[in-house]
Amino acid sequence: DTHLMAPDGALWEGWPHQAPRRQNPQMHWFEAMLALKEAIDHPQAATRAGQARHLFETTLFDRATGTIGEYYTDDWRPAPGALGDSVEPGHLAEWTWLLRTHERLFGLPAGPDARTLLDRAGACVDPATGLMVDEVDRAMAVRRGTRRSWLQTELVKAYLAEAAVGAPGARAAAIAALETLDRHHLRRPFAAGWIDQLDEAATPVETPVPASILYHVFVAVLEADRVLGAAD
């Protein structure tokens, strides 16, 4: 609150403040408030989660394109040039899950924005492999055709969230996304490891195995167990 909270109620990028502002810290702040609600029913979780969702609804979410940009000016306008046109499909899927989690934890009705985001994320899935690409622009033109592992975990979570609210076809899509995650990324190159990135042809790229991906895989598995049950 002292060093990282901006006057508008959103987070600064860091201390000292640097431009551009990004949606990513706001997304994870929202996630943290939801975790505080679910784990310990923190008394400030509801208000702060509501503030994060308000920022999404009024600023981050571009309803004309159904997307969320990555980079912004200090007053939350899209950053100039190509930077302000950047969209990461994995974050569209991640916001789908967060919006549905917020609705579930606070007894809110299932709104349409989450499904819009998932539809846009789904438009970035390669039909030949079932994998999302790393980056597109607001018109869904591919900028980076590589595929990180965390994108697939977020696609799994998004479809699971839609399955939990009874969206037609979401359960089958979640299972298919899990199978794609397993086939292309998990248990490779060693039993407890994963391939982090694939190239445009879905061939593994020789990069380190980031420990941060374990969080994404772990939550996807937990959500699968919660929504689908151990039998699936």
Residue found by looking up tokens 């990324």 in the block: 185
What distance in Å separates the CA atoms of residue 18 and residue 95, rounded to the nearest whole number?
24
Rounded to an integer, what distance in angstroms lies between the CA atom of residue 93 and that of residue 13? 22
Q: Is 23 exposed, middle or buried (0-12, 13-18, 19+ CB in 10 A)?
A: buried
Q: Find where tokens 């939801």 sit.
A: 34
Residues 180, 130 contacting (CB under 8 angstroms): yes
Phi, psi for residue 172 in degrees, rounded to 5: -65, -40
pLDDT band with cut points at 50, 70 and 90 for residue 108: very high
In eight-state DSSP terms, residue 77 is: P
| Nearest alpha carbon to residue 114 among 128, 130, 98, 126 | 98
Share of the chain above pLDDT 90, in %: 88
Confidence of residue 231 (pLDDT cuts 50, 70, 90): low
Question: pLDDT band for position 232 (50/70/90)?
Answer: low
User: What average pLDDT does range 101-127 have in this prediction?
Assistant: 97
Residues 84-113 have a mean pLDDT of: 97
Amino acid at 138: R
Q: Helices 213-228 and 170-184 sit at what angle, rounded to 10 degrees?
A: 140
So what's the pLDDT on residue 208?
Answer: 86
Mean pLDDT over 146-155 rounds to 97
pLDDT at residue 230, rounded to an integer:
58
CA 11 centroid distance within chain: 18
**Rounded Cα–Cα distance for residues 150 and 152 (Å):** 5
Cβ atoms of 123 and 169 within 8 Å: the answer is no
pTM of the model: 0.95
Contacts with 128 (C-beta within 8 Å, 6 or more apart), sequence order: 202
Cβ proximity of 39 and 32 under 8 Å: no
Nearest to 100 by CA among 110, 87, 89, 90: 110
CB 198 within 8 A of CB 188: no
At residue 20 the predicted structure's pLDDT band, cuts being 50, 70 and 90, is very high
Task: Give me 218's structure tokens.
Answer: 């772990």
User: Is 45's pLDDT higher than 60?
Assistant: yes
